[in-house]
Amino acid sequence: MISEGKNYFLNYWWYPVFPGLAIFVTVIAFNLVGDAVREVIDPRLRRRLL
C-alpha cells in the first residue's frame, strides 16, 4: 500500500501515510513487548536494577 501510495502522494497524502503509521505502531509495540519480556526473563538485568 505504501508503494502504491507514493504515486499519489502529492494529491492524496493519506494513501501512504496511514499504512506507514500502522507499520510504525506495530514495530514500536513489538519493541516494547520484547523489552518487557526481557526484563522479566533476564536475571542479570533484574540484579542490576535492585
- For 42, the 3-state DSSP assignment is coil
Distance CA 40, CA 14 (A): 39
When divided into structural domains, the chain yields a total of 1
CB distance 20 to 9 below 8 Å: no
Q: How many CA atoms lie within 13 A of 4 on its CB side?
A: 5
Please write the tens of the pLDDT for every residue from 1-50: 888 888 888 888 888 889 999 999 999 999 999 998 988 887 776 665 55
**Which domain does 33 fall in, by range?**
2-49
Question: Which pLDDT score is estimated for 46?
Answer: 63
Question: Which pLDDT score is estimated for 49?
Answer: 56
Q: Model pTM greater than 0.75?
A: no
